[in-house]
Structure 1
Amino acid sequence: MKRSQNKVSYGIVLLAAGMSNRLGRPKQLLTYQGDYLLNHAIKVAEQIKEAVTVVVIGAEAESLLNEIKDFNVKVVVNQQFREGMASSIRCGVQYIQHHYNEIENIIMMVCDQPYVNTAHLLRLIACHRATEAKIVASTYSNRKGVPALFNKQVFPELLTLEGDVGAKELIKKYDSEAVTVFLPLGEIDIDTEENYKVLINTDSIK
């Protein structure tokens, strides 16, 4: 594959392969601020000019491919998406290692945290540059989670994750070493119709 002409220092892996079982319809295609949640997340990631964005899809792959075909992102179809989130993490990391082996830091993010913005991703990067920590996590509701930046020191462990296990497990493992950046409303994600109603109601009164 031909590399981008722009120098890339970071990878962003956007996890969007889930089946949305609890919601009952693809969360990636829920509407938020006039666009789909997936498109909203891609636009946030695309603004990081020194990063390559890799979108990992699986369930509803054909529909999602049609929606995101005009974005300047790399798309990986995870054929093992039924295994759970770990399979998508592995897909994204493997893609970056194969095509952009100069990248030493990867940001993991999901498509259903609508209050993640580009400024927050930039804060994760700035915090890593200042601390050189192996993990820089977001913090909200007294816990650490994604989006989170992972240094190459932990890439091998990202590749050993299995099942419906996300990057939070690795953050827990290195809890004492991980540094954090506060993410306002980061606890809001969309797993159920009730979550979606809360999002729409919260956004309408802001």
Structure 2
Amino acid sequence: MKILIRGAGDLATGIASRLYGAGHQILMTEIAVPLTVRRTVALSRAVYEGSAQVEEMKGVLVKDQAGAEQVMENGDIAVVVDEKAVCCEWFRPDVIVDAILAKKNLGTKITDAPFVIGVGPGFTAGVDCNCVVETKRGHTLGNIIWRGAAIPNTGVPGNVAGYTIERLIRAEAAGILEPKAKIGDYVEKSSVVAVTGGVPVYAQMTGIVRGMLQPGVQVSKNLKIGDIDARAEISHCYTISDKARAIGGGVLEAVTGFERMKDEFAIVVLAAGAGTRFGGNKLNALVRNKPLYEHTLERVEAFSAFPAYIVTGSEEIAREAEQKDIATVWNKEPERGIALSLTLGLKKALEDRPGLKGILFTVCDQPGLDTSTMQQIFRTASRHPGSIVCAGSGERTGNPVCWDRTFFPKLLTLEGDEGGRQIMRKYREKVKIVQADPEELKDIDRREDLI
């Protein structure tokens, strides 16, 4: 797959190493003046050196699409100065990994690519990315978070050989950096390791200088300009760290799971109900300042890897859906019940993609449903072929529901307004429930439900 990694520092390079080893095509973006401390193991070095070798990978600085395509065709990693990731417009990545590590999201959206991974604090799975990978040292390092966020930034670096804050070398004054110790040098505590803005910077501990910013770079006071490693293993200065490999492993796991799913599922939105109990067109009712149906369309937009269809009789809803690349399937007979919408959507999806392994059916009147719940349904369905996977609470089942292809013939025989519930009751042993907050499962049936 084509993967864009935002950032090319040492942790981003560790991520690239895992993905490169798995055979993916990689483009990395950087800022014009990288501030990577562990630059000997970072492809960001290519920005000011033209190219950078880290273990088996070579990163090459490129200026445009043609250059990037040539480098990737040669089997290397392209690095481009592109702070805003404008290259997405021509690269059209399957996956974006935001590994800038700014401790906050600098603009990445869940809709920027078919699959988006946030690395570290500042991202929330199901909101601005599909999942988050934990970066804090400890028992959960490299874990994939499918709901919620990473551990917040504490401002205290991880413990390495009994040292935390002492490991850091920080600028004593704003100005030009003049390193007095090189990466790989052994230094004693209180020795001068650099000068910033004409002011000496002293080591806070004894060990090997594992990282140091490039000479001549402009720095601000208190900026991290280097680090010291008490383990004093010189090889650590030139190889990807255990932390970077663990984070890279988490990213690779998430990417591999997505790759397995991306051509196997479709989404069908059911939006053709007559609104009898509501007493009118409920899908246009305002919920949190937007029409009810828009909440569902926005969630579906986060899964652009899957073909999506909306079954409706509304011209307005169809127009809005088309703008989000959701194809319209017309149902002008809503009085015949939900089964008609279900079968119409199923037939169209199979007409376009006969080899689909599953289809997720979602209704248009669940404004509280979390995008991360849909993500978990797809992941569960991918790992458990032959199952019916739905959102629910405890033993209670609800929408959405992802049906394995083995049930398609049975779904096509449905009639009336019960939908697939009768099949779920008959094959209860095949049902797997993804636990969701009860508020997510609430639908809008009557006007009083809006309150």
Q: TM-score, normalised by structure 2?
A: 0.40
Matched residue, 1:186:
440
Which stretch shows the higher mean deviation, 46-55 or 65-74? 65-74
Which stretch shows the higher mean deviation, 127-136 or 71-80? 127-136
Matched residue, 1:3:
none
Instruction: Give the greater-gyration-radius structure (CA).
Output: 2
Tell me, yes or no, if structure 1 residue 29 matches structure 2 residue 284.
yes
2:389 is aligned with what amino acid? V
Instruction: Give distance in 2, aligned partners of 1:79 and 1:47.
Output: 28
Matched residue, 2:396:
143
Larger RCO (alpha carbons 8 Å, 6+ apart) = 1
Pick from 82, 92, 98 the counterpart of residue 351 of structure 2. Answer: 98
2:331 is aligned with what amino acid? N
Contact 2:271 2:364 in 1 (8 A): yes
User: What is the CA-CA distance between 1:33 and the residue it aligns to?
Assistant: 2.5
User: What is the CA-CA distance between 1:66 and the residue it aligns to?
Assistant: 4.0
Change (3 A) 1:126 1:68: closer
Change (3 A) 1:168 1:145: farther
Matched residue, 1:201:
none
Tell me, yes or no, if structure 1 residue 195 matches structure 2 residue 434.
no
User: What is the CA-CA distance between 1:132 and the residue it aligns to?
Assistant: 2.3
Instruction: Give distance in 1, aligned partners of 2:394 and 2:384.
Output: 23
SS of residue in 2 equivalent to 1:54: strand
User: What is the CA-CA distance between 1:18 and the residue it aligns to?
Assistant: 0.4
Contact 1:137 1:171 in 2 (8 A): no
Q: TM-score, normalised by structure 1?
A: 0.85
Matched residue, 2:342:
89
Instruction: Give distance in 1, aligned partners of 2:316 and 2:373.
Output: 29
Tell me, yes or no, if structure 1 residue 173 matches structure 2 residue 426.
yes
Instruction: Give distance in 2, aligned partners of 1:122 and 1:112.
Output: 19
Question: RMSD across aligned C-alpha pairs, in angstroms?
Answer: 1.9
- Bigger proportion of residues as strand: 2
Contact 2:266 2:308 in 1 (8 A): yes
> What residue ranges of structure 1 are gaps of 5+ in the alignment?
1-5, 198-206
1:47 is aligned with what amino acid? A
Instruction: Give distance in 1, aligned partners of 2:318 and 2:349.
Output: 19
Matched residue, 1:203:
none
Instruction: Give distance in 2, aligned partners of 1:133 and 1:180.
Output: 14
User: What is the CA-CA distance between 1:36 and the residue it aligns to?
Assistant: 1.4
- Bigger proportion of residues as helix: 1
2:325 is aligned with what amino acid? N
Matched residue, 1:204:
none
> What residue ranges of structure 2 are gaps of 5+ in the alignment?
1-113, 115-261
Contact 2:398 2:441 in 1 (8 A): no
Instruction: Give distance in 2, aligned partners of 1:116 and 1:125.
Output: 15
